[in-house]
């Protein structure tokens, strides 16, 4: 919600409150209105680490956009926002049913294209200064390079470990990324598509999961050609299981 006008500038709904949902909300906001100068939020773990207050993945995204994050010190500090949210949330379920909205795929575009403008026309008010304080999004900005996680992993053979699983790294043509053991790699997960990939030397290498049911003996591939064949074979086996 825009503090100056109480206008809803963007929204995104998912089954659970999470970083991806807030990232999608911010993508809607900056794409439609521009970049915020600051963002006022509570101290939820999406915005700052509960243990030590250090920046989270979402906070890094805001930093890259130049958005200053301000944290409310008490629930009362967000009273006006919470009061507005309560009113909107009471209306939303009834109105969504009335318009035949029965899935998140329908809800999100309907909310941003129709319902938010409807709420704004009904409840928002003009600011004292008509000049918008939003900063126009620079032309050509690739939001996928902003709305992604930023982590590092250490390679083991041609694999990395992530989230308790092992992954091989290969480009779109199936060429395997070859790096020495112990190489520190930049690993990203797209906040929209959830695609995981490694960036190295200006190239993107997709991360393909290795089946946890059948650990792969990397040593069975004696050279690069053998390793690529092994990767293709595993991809085919995984596809067959899914089928």
The pLDDT tens digits of the residues spanning 163-217 come to 888 999 988 888 888 888 999 999 999 999 999 999 988 889 999 888 654 444 5
Strands of the sheet containing 151-154, edge to edge, are: 151-154, 184-189, 196-200, 203-209, 165-170, 159-162
| Within a domain: 224 | no
Domain that holds residue 61: 19-123
* pLDDT tens digits along 84-97: 667 677 788 888 88
Q: pTM score, two decimals?
A: 0.76
Question: CATH code at 108?
Answer: 3.30.420
Are residue 23 and residue 102 in the same domain, yes or no?
A: yes
35 and 107 both lie in a single domain: yes
Q: Give the integer Cα–Cα distance in Å for 211 and 235.
A: 9
Say if residues 200 and 29 touch (Cβ distance below 8 Å). no
Phi first, then psi: give them for residue 189, nearest 5 degrees: -125, 120
**Do 40 and 103 sit in the same domain of this protein?**
yes
* Number of domains comprising the chain: 2
| 29 inside domain | yes
């Amino acid at each position: 919600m825009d503090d100056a006008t109480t206008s809803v500038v963007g929204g995104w709904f998912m089954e659970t409150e999470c970083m991806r949902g807030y990232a999608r909300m911010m993508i809607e906001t900056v794409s439609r209105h521009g970049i915020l100068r600051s963002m006022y939020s509570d101290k939820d773990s999406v915005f700052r680490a509960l243990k030590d207050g250090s920046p989270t993945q979402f906070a890094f995204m805001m930093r890259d956009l130049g958005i200053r994050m301000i944290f409310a010190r008490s629930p009362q500090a967000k009273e006006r926002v919470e009061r507005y949210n309560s009113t909107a949330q009471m209306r939303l379920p009834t109105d969504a049913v009335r318009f035949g909205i029965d899935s998140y795929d329908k809800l999100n575009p309907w909310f941003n294209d129709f319902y938010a403008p409807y709420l704004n026309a009904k409840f928002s008010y003009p600011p004292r200064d008509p000049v918008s304080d939003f900063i126009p999004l620079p032309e050509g900005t690739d939001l996928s390079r902003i709305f992604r996680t930023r982590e590092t992993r250490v390679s083991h053979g041609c694999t990395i470990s992530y989230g308790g699983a092992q992954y091989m790294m290969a480009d779109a043509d199936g060429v395997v990324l070859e790096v020495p053991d112990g190489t520190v790699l930049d690993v990203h997960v797209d906040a929209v598509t959830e695609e995981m990939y490694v960036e190295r030397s200006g190239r993107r290498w997709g991360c393909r999961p290795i089946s946890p049911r059948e650990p792969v003996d990397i040593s069975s591939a004696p050279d690069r050609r053998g390793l690529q064949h092994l990767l293709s074979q595993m991809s085919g086996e995984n596809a067959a299981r899914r089928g």
